[in-house]
Amino acid sequence: MASNNIPSNEIHTPVLLERCVELLAPALERPGAVLVDATLGMGGHAEAILSRFPDLTLVGLDRDTEALAIAEERLKGFAGRVHLVHTVYDGIGEALDGLGITEVAGILFDLGVSSLQIDRVERGFSYSKDAPLDMRMDGTAGLTAESILADYSERDLKRIFQDYGEEKLSARYAKAIVEARETTPFVRSAQLVDVITKATPVAIQRLGHPAKRVFQALRIEVNQELAVLERAIPAALDRVAVGGRIVVMAYQSLEDRIVKRALAAASGSTAPAGLPVELPEHKPLFSLLLRGAELASDEEKALNPRATPVRLRAAERLRRAAA
């Protein structure tokens, strides 16, 4: 059912909602708690969490102006407790500074493409439906998938397909795209899918849609997702108060590796090897709340197929670094 006058076809079940609430609750129950939803989307997680913690203040960040507008309407019943900021999530520090907030009790990241972006055909994120080759999460940004396909060299196309799509046929696809664009510019997703499909051996086509990894790579390049995430997690960790918690949901291995490395570094001792006693200044700043990445249960996947690839990680701040 839709709420706050949002069309029902724009409302989706938030991924791992109950688990996220469970992990964040010990921090959010504290008086004056502030939660940063660093990937607000349409406000599904935010609405549920605000409802359960009546004294909580929420700071919602998103680069997508359309999503922010929907979330603003959805969360209008919590007026006075919600601050929405148009920014990419590596701008978390600047966003909090602008609100005069130094530390927060909790931070939630729900990475990847939002339901809104996937379901809006005209945004061009899907390889299964013909649309303009856009793929911008922030419609005010300049770089698009169309401009990448028009301007990038064969070598650079190969690089992003290989690095961001983990595509084994990256060289073949890059060559096919460069050859095809000499006669017809790429402006629609169906054109790209056609070129990729023709360049893919039939035996490999049977293993899954041949354009999936290329579209992922283009989306990551357009939105600089991995570079942004590399900056965002350390910036977020720096703002978590002692006893506060961070919860991160990633949907593909490249994102999850970045999150895993950042949390491992924050939760590890900095004591030199061989030191007989760990001095206080070397003790970990954070403690991992989960062993490895937690996956969605079969029940969750059945109820919400978007949860199928999710990898959940969480940590709690133990202490502040010495000045």
Kindly state the DSSP code that residue 211 receives in the 8-state scheme: T
Are the C-beta atoms of 101 and 34 separated by less than 8 Å? yes
Contacts (Cβ under 8 Å, ≥6 apart) of 191: 180, 184
Contacts (Cβ under 8 Å, ≥6 apart) of 44: 11, 12, 13, 14, 17
Are the C-beta atoms of 134 and 146 separated by less than 8 Å? yes
Kindly state the DSSP code that residue 153 receives in the 8-state scheme: -
What is the chain's length?
Answer: 323
The answer to the question of whether 117 is labelled as a binding residue is yes
What tokens does 139 get?
């419609």
The answer to the question of whether 45 is labelled as a binding residue is yes
What tokens does 240 get?
């978590």
The answer to the question of whether 162 is labelled as a binding residue is no
The answer to the question of whether 110 is labelled as a binding residue is yes
**Which of 313, 292, 254, 8 minimizes the C-alpha distance to 112?**
254
Instruction: Give the span between the Cα atoms of 203 and 114, in whole angstroms.
Output: 32
The answer to the question of whether 62 is labelled as a binding residue is yes
The answer to the question of whether 44 is labelled as a binding residue is yes
Own/partner pairs, 292-296, CB within 8 angstroms, 24+ separation: 293/250, 293/256, 293/260, 294/19, 296/15, 296/16
Name the 3-class secondary structure at 33. coil
Supply φ then ψ for residue 85, to 5 degrees: -130, 130
The answer to the question of whether 89 is labelled as a binding residue is yes
What tokens does 140 get?
């005010």
Known binding residues are 43-45, 62, 89, 110, 117
Known binding residues for S-adenosyl-L-methionine are 43-45, 62, 89, 110, 117
